[in-house]
Amino acid sequence: MPQDIPEIIIGRLPLYLRVLTRLEKQGQEFTLSKELGEALNLSPAQIRKDLSQFGELGTRGQGYQIGFLIEKLRQILKLEEIRDMAVIGGGDVGHALARYEGFTNRGFQVTNIFDSDPGKIGSRMTGIVVQSSADMIQVLRENNIKVAILTTPAESAQGVTEQLVEAGVKAILNYAPIELKVPPDVHVEHIDPAVYLQKLSYYLEE
């Protein structure tokens, strides 16, 4: 597989996967770039261009076989085994993530939660015992955890991020309302509800 696929295309693959999974659940066996395009607000040409980066995944006329394309996308995105994740911060968002149903069958599970509050350490959140932030680096290393979800307040987010990097974490999903600085081999995605709301605002009538 070529190593220089634009990040914007990689970012769309999970959206393809979500639509394909829905179509598969509905009992559909094949789909066309037109159908995928309508579901994702992209042109059929863009869909074909995106997917052609990864080889010949469809057939002219017949389109894409859904089960095959799902399998292929899961391979490309390295989702074939369930990855362990640590949630940093046992507050409202951390708690919600610990019992979030949307991770099921999508490649991830929360295995650890860390907090610095002595009142929370040792308590259980959806079966997971909250661990002390003081032990975070060691526990992450010992368990070879590469993915972390950051839910701390904005003011501690950069400091915690530096500890995550030190612990060998390579992927951070950031819920804190702040942009994080990380080395080039660490990837960050930012969950920023205001970005979605601002897009929605465009479509509202005055």
What is the separation of C-alpha 41 from the centre of its chain, rounded to a whole number of angstroms?
A: 20
Residue 11 contacts by C-beta under 8 Å, 6 or more apart in sequence?
Answer: none
3-state helix, strand, coil split of the chain in percent (to 5) is 45, 20, 35
The least distance separating its own copies from the CB of residue 39, rounded to whole angstroms, comes to 9
By the rule CB under 8 A, 24 interacts with its own copies: no
Between residue 60 and residue 119, which ones bind its own copies under the rule CB under 8 A? 76-79, 83, 85, 91-93, 95-97, 100-103, 106-108
Q: Which range in 27-35, 50-58, 127-135, 164-172 contacts its own copies by CB under 8 A?
A: 164-172
Q: With contact defined as beta carbons under 8 Å apart, do 131 and 139 qualify?
A: yes
Q: With contact defined as beta carbons under 8 Å apart, do 37 and 46 qualify?
A: yes
By the rule CB under 8 A, 182 interacts with its own copies: no
Token output for 162:
């530096």
Q: Which range in 48-56, 60-68, 115-123, 143-151 contacts its own copies by CB under 8 A?
A: 143-151
Residue 55 contacts by C-beta under 8 Å, 6 or more apart in sequence?
Answer: none
Q: Which residues of the shown chain bind its own copies in the complex (CB under 8 A)?
A: 6-8, 10-11, 13-15, 17-18, 22, 41-42, 76-79, 83, 85, 91-93, 95-97, 100-103, 106-108, 146-147, 149, 154, 170-173, 177, 179, 187, 189, 191-206
